[in-house]
Amino acid sequence: MDSVENYLAEVLAGIRPLPSREIALADALGAVLDGDVRAQWPLPAFDNSAMDGYAVRAADIAGATAETPVVLPVRGEIPAGSVEPQAIEPGTCMQIMTGAAMPAGADTVVQVELTDGGTSAVAIREAVALGTSVRLTGGDAQPGDLLLSSGTRIGPVHLGLLAAAGHATVLARPRPRVTVISTGDELVEPGNALIPGQIWESNATMLTAAARQAGCPARRHPTVRDDTDAVLSAVAGALEETDLLITSGGVSMGGEHDVVKAALATLGTVNFRKVAMQPGMPQGFGTVGEQHTPIFTLPGNPVSAYVSFCLFVLPALDALQDFASERAVPSPATLTRSVRSPAAKRSFLRGIMHRTASVAGGEPGAGATGAAGAPEAAGGVGARAGQITQVTQVTPVAGQASHQLASLARANVLVIVPEDVTSLEAGAAVDVLELP
């Protein structure tokens, strides 16, 4: 059997990043930048007010107090968006709105709350420092400054920055389009009546949602019956609008009804193998079509399919965007009860992770105990007396079989048990992988 690491390495080696293209900002959320983005103009482009108030010379209000306010004549109002040049003379001021351009001669804004709000003359009740509430030209970025680095996955704030910098499009790798196909004569659409031997289809629904949660446009193909021609037709029909294909079911090792394996084996590019893991041992990966579209053939048991998606498909989606994957990074925790695992397989047990605060007591470095009685191995051994540390504990859920979707729904992590370990006792340190 292949190890998890070797299989994942083979998967990633078979991925070719999607070509970059100019993408409108409205469609760029989740895309990955190809090339640095630098400021072409200063941000902001002109001195402007950060407050509703009065544009003044700081020297003119230096003596203002609540008891002896400074009264200045108001020479007009500057709304945001006004492009008419304005100026004030010493000893005068102008009303100004947030975002409006500062008038020539003014160097400070007094917020309206520090005044009587006058329109022809205003009483200013507090002296404010030079430059208060003024956004200076280029205060956020100067021309040539780096705004976003190549390889950045574009989020909402990045989009706001790109728009503020005047970009209508951006060169980036788009979000991969995903198509999910479930196969099986036993599958029935939810909402329909079942007869003995049938089950409601759930895998395609779950995996399509998982791909969407990962930021990808994803669609669920209608369920395909157990027929090799039907499988090949579904795969061929999905290729035109797909950057990554996922099938579920029909890949067990050896059975005449493993139609996905039988169909895709004829294409010559999909390899099927056993991976030393539980759940999810039967796996298949390759490319299909003229564009060498990646295809994953995941097991039919729902827990196996979802665990496989988390371990292998999510990193592949990142690789399609040439993005350094950060999704599958384990973190340490402490078991609250004992577990068993089969020999020579890496187990991914469903568990519920919880974090508690712990106050170290006794002599410095004596450690502490978490809420469930586990030693603070995962949360801060060696904490000084009185120091608050965080203890991370994980409780395996009841029901670890690969068909038990209800137990997966209760879990928030996968507990990783290495291949050479067959049992762990309560209190043991383990690695856990947070579920999306």
* pLDDT at 134 > cutoff 50: yes
- Which of 248 and 53 is assigned the larger pLDDT? 53
Taking the C-alpha atoms of residue 193 and residue 224, their distance in angstroms, rounded to an integer, is: 18
Rg of the chain's alpha carbons, rounded to an integer?
Answer: 31
Nearest to 320, CA basis, from 233, 160, 211, 238: 211
CA-to-CA distance for 408 and 160, rounded, in angstroms?
37
State both tokens at 272.
Answer: 């099927």
At 63 the three-state DSSP class reads: coil
**Model confidence band, residue 266 (pLDDT cutoffs 50, 70, 90):** confident
- pLDDT greater than 50 at residue 364: no
Query: Residue 424 above 90 pLDDT?
Result: yes
pLDDT at position 360 is 59
Q: pTM for this one?
A: 0.85
Equal fold, 48-135 vs 331-434: no
Q: Return the SS3 of 351.
A: strand
| Mean pLDDT of the region 54-73 | 97
Band of residue 257 on the pLDDT scale cut at 50, 70, 90: low
Token duo for residue 103: 């008038």
pLDDT at 203 (0 to 100): 92
Whether omega before 69 lies within 30 degrees of 0, making that bond cis, reads no
Which residues have C-beta within 8 Å of that of residue 222, sequence separation ≥ 6?
A: none
Using CB atoms within 10 Å of the CB of residue 400, give its burial: 0 to 12 exposed, 13 to 18 middle, 19+ buried: buried
State the average pLDDT over residues 359-366: 47
Residue 112 and residue 123: Cα distance in Å, rounded?
Answer: 10
Question: 39 with 91: CB under 8 angstroms?
Answer: no
Residue 89 has pLDDT above 90, yes or no: yes
Pick the CATH number of 21-43+139-173 from 3.90.105.10, 3.30.1490.20, 1.25.40.10, 3.40.50.300: 3.90.105.10
Give residue-wise pLDDT tens across range 271-309.
Answer: 889 999 999 999 999 999 888 999 999 998 999 999 999
Q: Is the pLDDT of residue 362 over 70?
A: no
**Selection from 293, 225, 294, 301 nearest residue 263 by Cα:** 225
Selected residue with higher pLDDT from 236 and 92 = 92
CATH number of 331-434: 2.40.340.10
Average pLDDT value for residue range 344-351: 97
How high is the pLDDT of residue 204? Answer: 93
pLDDT at 7: 96
- Give tens-digit pLDDT for 100-122: 999 999 999 999 999 999 999 99
Hey, what are 134's tokens? 């003024």
Q: Tell me which DSSP letter residue 89 carries.
A: -
> What's the maximum distance between 2 C-alpha atoms anywhere in the chain?
95
Q: Taking the domains of the chain in order of start, what are their residue ranges?
A: 4-18+176-320, 21-43+139-173, 48-135, 331-434
Structure tokens at 355: 């974090």
Cis peptide before 279 (omega within 30 of 0): yes
For the chain, what is the mean pLDDT? 90
pLDDT at 324: 86
CATH of domain 48-135: 2.170.190.11
Tokens describing residue 67 = 């008891």
pLDDT at 252 over 90: no
The answer to whether domain 4-18+176-320 has CATH 2.40.30.10 is: no
The pLDDT-based confidence of 377 (bands split at 50, 70, 90) is: very low
Give residue 253's pLDDT band: very low, low, confident or very high (50, 70, 90).
low
Question: What average pLDDT does the segment 326-344 reach?
Answer: 91
